[in-house]
Structure 1
């Protein structure tokens, strides 16, 4: 097999694997979240369908695929129908420059578990992931529902604001590494994790990630105590499910990216191989997404925006300034 043919086949296979594996993990993540919340809040959780309720995922899939797909009478039908696609497509597309494992040999060829090793991978990830803001925005605007409209407005307010925090928090990392490539950032940490050199940037980026993934306590787009079901109030069936496929895929992607940027990436951890170390560290980060939902209440919109612009933004700017002085 020629190198060009192998490259084409390899790219197609990697694309299919990313979609298949991440979509499957997103379904499994819903089960994991319900189990974690049940254990922390002394509830039963999934337990009836299959051993330990593991087949509840299959039951939920059957339910979503067979439920009626309802479109409100006065909704903008075209926009209403494409809004869920933006959430899922944006989440999967953001994974293109993310290296999932170290490179390895296969049939005499070097396989790199990354779809596109571009030198601006970090910028690409942030840019494409931010496109997902259009999903709740368009869903809320097109639904002809006042609760969905409120959630759409709050989505823009919170997501755009915290995109600023995530971007500025990573400036200090880029200044130290001198590259926007996630591969270069990973390799930079072969001698030490960036979380120890940039602990404030780590905390700021992690908090911004909670907003971008619509997670408690920083979620305003879907707060059941205030907005029924937020921007997805009028959705049903698989279109409703696609919002959550996008959300959980974003959580998984963000967990991996946080590990790559701050927690040593896929560099070996003591006697633990790099691939396994990446999976373990990303699992811990993902667990914290679930833990905070069980332990913390929602913030009000004014509290969240005040926290963003009065606390996090000055800290992010100060961190960049201090990093610049240290490097000089």
Structure 2
């Protein structure tokens, strides 16, 4: 099917849907997401255990399968805590916002083609829209307000820090993620999720739009607050970030929404880059050997769920492999790398669409060719690009001037050296800074009192 036909009409046909079909689909989505989260918790804990040479849960139920149910029961019966100084309404509504937005996204994700359900022809999708992809981005952005309002309403320091980090992370990585998806609906000539899947009948978008696919993969970790980009709830720094002052089911809603969002970004990646519910060319060829079609009936639902779990396992594997990024590196990656690269690739896609309108080259050939050139150019810039000038901070909080290119390493070492007798004031710049090499912190008042006491005792002894 050509992209012009896809743009002209919505491919999913809901004309025979009735209210009870909508109810069945809605209930299936809720049950599927809840059970998938329970299974994902078991897979993550057992998988992390194997990757880190430990057992993981293995006591409750066979192979520890009942551990997630035991944890859920514990959260339900746990004492529900209400902060005295919190904004009660916002404090209660914030986790509801996160959970409601997380469960809403799957409604516009196509899980399969048209099938017959109790004599009615209906797509394996609850709803669709000509702007379904924009609807997904809007709901995802709205869900971030749950974290921001939850941290702000607690009127506590660490949750507020987590809320501020969540807001900055949302702005940084939502932009890169959105720009990567813009190239998808430009290629498919539609923002309908079912139309995007149909546009990948020949070749999946992950091949011609490989740079956008890489940008999306990185951005989805920041979107879901997962390692190595889990800065809003860094346990070693902020205890649990915006969730710190929550307990019982209010915390459970946050916890549930985080894992549901992992499934959401995995399903979006499957829909926009991995052909959605469509089987790959190899499976299509294997099925054709005995006259079958893997893209009809209920079988495509299996391909969709397998691809989704492929991305889920990739996120779990990444958590077991990488450490948390430093916050300044995290922001630099979003604003100085992902967003500029996304804009450059977006311009390339627009140019490709313009060229293919007046040439005999196929669009996929140009996509693949420019994607290869783009990746080579990015690699060259990364390897031989100009490095930042080395800078340092003196004890008074002033920056050390950069050396000229002709100066030697000995001159650099001499410039960086700080005399031990230099007086160090940790608060000279308005905020505490650690001492540089050669400097030392002044003794604490307690150490001064202890030294004075010892001196007095020695004088009395003499």
- TM tier, smaller: over 0.9
Equivalent pair of 2:271/2:277 in contact (CA under 8 Å): yes
| Unpaired runs of at least 5, structure 2 | 1-13, 288-293, 355-462
Match of 2:301 in 1: 275
| Structure 2 residue 159 is matched with structure 1 residue 148 | yes
Residue 14 of structure 1 pairs with residue 25 of structure 2: yes
1:286 and 2:306 are equivalent in the alignment: no
Within a 5 Å distance, the mapping from 1:312-323 to structure 2 comes to: 312-323=338-349
Superposed, 1:102-113 pairs within 5 Å as 102-113=113-124
Kindly report the root-mean-square deviation, in angstroms, between the aligned alpha carbons of the 2 structures.
Answer: 1.5
The 8 Å contact of residues 16 and 120 in structure 2, kept in 1 or not, is answered as no
Matches within 5 A, 1:169-248: 169-248=180-259
Q: Shift of the alpha carbon at 1:5?
A: 9.3
Aligned 8 A contact 1:34 1:45 in 2 = yes
Q: Is contact 1:169-1:201 (8 Å) kept?
A: yes
- Find the partner of 2:58 among 47, 57, 69: 47
Bigger radius of gyration: 2
3-state SS of 1:102 partner: strand
Matches within 5 A, 1:243-262: 243-262=254-273
Cα distance in 2 for partners of 1:199, 1:29 equals 27
Structure 1 regions of 5+ residues with no counterpart? none
Alignment TM-score, normalising by the size of structure 2: 0.69
The separation in 2 between residues aligned to 1:107 and 1:17, in whole angstroms, is 16
- How far does residue 6 in structure 1 lie from its aligned partner after superposition? 5.5
CA–CA distance in 2 between the matches of 1:75 and 1:82? 12
Partner Cα separation in structure 2 for residue 23 and residue 260 of structure 1: 21
* Matches of 1:214 and 1:40, distance apart in 2: 21
Q: Tell me, what secondary structure is at the counterpart of 1:131?
A: helix
Higher RCO, 1 vs 2 (CA within 8 Å, ≥6 residues apart):
1
Normalising to structure 1: TM-score of the pair?
A: 0.96
Higher share in helix: 1
Distance 1:259 1:189 in 2: 11
Would you say the 8 A contact 1:27–1:245 is kept in 2? Answer: no
Q: How far 1:96 sits from its partner (Å)?
A: 1.9
Show CA shifts across 1:115-151 (max 9, x none): 1111111111111011111111011101122111000
After TM superposition, give the deviation of residue 100 of structure 1 in Å.
1.7
Equivalence for 1:23: 34
Give yes or no for contact 1:121–1:181 (8 Å, CA) kept in 2: yes
Distance 1:46 1:196 in 2: 39
Greater mean alpha carbon deviation, residues 187-196 or residues 6-15: 6-15
Task: Find the aligned partners of 2:193 and 2:15 in 1 and give their Cα distance.
Answer: 25
Partners of 1:106 and 1:241 lie apart in 2 by 34
- The answer as to 2:108 corresponding to 1:97 is yes
Match of 2:333 in 1: 307
Give the whole-Å Cα distance in 2 for the aligned partners of 1:30 and 1:193: 30
Q: Which one of the candidate residues 59, 65, 68 is aligned to 1:57?
A: 68
CA distance in 1, matches of 2:38, 2:328: 33
Q: Distance in 1 between matches of 2:194 and 2:17?
A: 22
Distance, in Å, in 1 between the alignment partners of 2:117 and 2:306 is 24
Aligned equivalents of 2:16, 2:305: Cα separation in 1: 30
Question: Bigger CA drift: 316-325 or 93-102?
Answer: 93-102
Q: 1:160 to 1:39 in 2, by over 3 A?
A: same
Number of aligned positions between the proteins: 326
